[in-house]
């Protein structure tokens, strides 16, 4: 099964942002496979865009996506089903980043993806690599 690692970055937040998708190779090393950037964005938006890119990159095949974004895992697995059922509304006001929430939820529902949360910034090699490449993408790096 394909294993992808994702991360997003914006510095300052909000500000220029980037995201990266790392492919875990059979020997356990990582290889950046998708990078993206936006001129004015937030960390949360870039994390979401990284997961969108990873799901699209899997091309319908089963995969695991490792992310340090508990927020996006909760959106996809806990909150979005209820928001969708209520016409994309929630108690307490509008849903932030609804454009990305809806895009991501639609492709997630049709995918064969397992989301795996990893604690960020504790030295996990491929999570650190995803962070490094997200920052490089923010600065304009291309593959």
pLDDT for 125-141, tens place per residue? 999 999 999 999 999 99
Determine whether 47 is an active site residue. yes
Determine whether 8 is an active site residue. yes
Determine whether 7 is an active site residue. yes
Q: Which of 28, 92, 121, 123 is catalytic?
A: 121
Q: Which of 17, 24, 47, 66 is catalytic?
A: 47
Determine whether 66 is an active site residue. no
Indicate if the pLDDT at residue 45 is higher than 90. Answer: yes
**Stretch 22-40: mean pLDDT:** 97
- The CATH number assigned to the domain with range 2-69+111-138 reads 3.30.420.10
> Read out DSSP for the chain?
-EEEEEEEEESSSSEEEEEEEEEEPTTS-EEEEEEEEEEEE-HHHHHHHHHHHHHHHHTTS-EEEEES-HHHHHIIIIIHHHHHHTTS-BTTBPPTTHHHHHHHHHHHHTS-EEEEE--SSS--HHHHHHHHHHHHHHTT---
pLDDT in tens, 48-92: 999 999 999 999 999 999 999 999 999 999 999 999 999 999 988
Domain locations along the chain: 2-69+111-138
Quick one: pLDDT at residue 1? 87
The fraction of the chain above a pLDDT of 70, given in percent, is 100
Q: Which of 24, 68, 99, 132 is catalytic?
A: 68
Mean pLDDT of the chain: 96
């Amino acid at each position: 099964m394909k294993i992808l690692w994702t991360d997003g970055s914006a510095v300052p937040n909000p500000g220029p942002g980037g995201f990266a998708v790392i492919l875990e190779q059979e020997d356990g090393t990582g290889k950046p496979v998708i990078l993206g950037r936006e001129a004015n964005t937030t960390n949360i938006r870039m994390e979401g865009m990284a997961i969108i890119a990873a799901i699209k990159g899997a091309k319908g095949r089963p995969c695991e996506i490792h992310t340090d974004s508990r927020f996006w895992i909760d959106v996809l697995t806990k909150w979005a089903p209820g928001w969708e059922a209520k016409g994309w509304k929630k108690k307490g006001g509008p849903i932030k980043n609804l454009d990305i929430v809806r895009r991501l939820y639609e492709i997630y529902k049709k995918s064969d993806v397992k989301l795996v949360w990893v604690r960020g910034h504790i030295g996990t090699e491929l999570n650190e690599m995803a962070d490094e490449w997200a920052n490089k993408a923010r600065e304009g790096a291309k593959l």
